[in-house]
Amino acid sequence: MTQTTNPLDAWIAEERAIIDRLEGGPGPGLARPEQVAGKTGLEVMQAMLNGDIPYAAIAKTLDFTIISVSKGVAVFQGTPLAQHLNPLGTIHGGWVATMLDSALGCSVHTMMPPGRAYTTAELSVNYVRAVTPKVQRVRAEGKVIHCGRQLATAEARLVGADGTLYAHATTTCLVFEVPAAR
């Protein structure tokens, strides 16, 4: 007889293991230049996920966590809490947009060769269902559509453990050479 795992329980267990690893490393902050020099964007993201370099402080501030990265893909998981509510009693759209933007940007980051970086030029979010604190976890999965020398585009979806779609988004990022340190 096979044991069926509740998807939400699996998500929470995976999140706990990752948070323990991240908090066992340097915690939130900025990587030093020598920690990222010569690395691809994917290598930097993997080092962050492994707890070898600091992770973005915004994730701790807004209660979301990087879950996985691979070439052209980044997944974040968040906990919608009462502190994220807007005056109407639903999770603020900015919280949703920030999770989606993180997944989008990090998916593009995984495609950067050493010495290249990106910045968001455009973010478009479509909200299709309200998120409330009753939704225990949501995941934002960003996937690169195109990554060229000057522009990259990506798409993301924010879903619950039961598969409910709450929002989806797209981004256009400007890709550029990292200026040499002086």
pLDDT in tens, 90-137: 999 999 999 999 999 999 999 999 999 999 999 999 999 999 999 999
Task: Return the pLDDT at 61.
Answer: 95
- Predicted confidence band of residue 65 (pLDDT cuts 50, 70, 90): very high
d(CA 158, CA 174): 23
Q: What is the mean pLDDT of residues 11-33?
A: 96
pTM: predicted TM-score of the whole model, two decimal places: 0.95
pLDDT of residue 182 exceeding 80:
no
pLDDT of residue 1 exceeding 60:
no
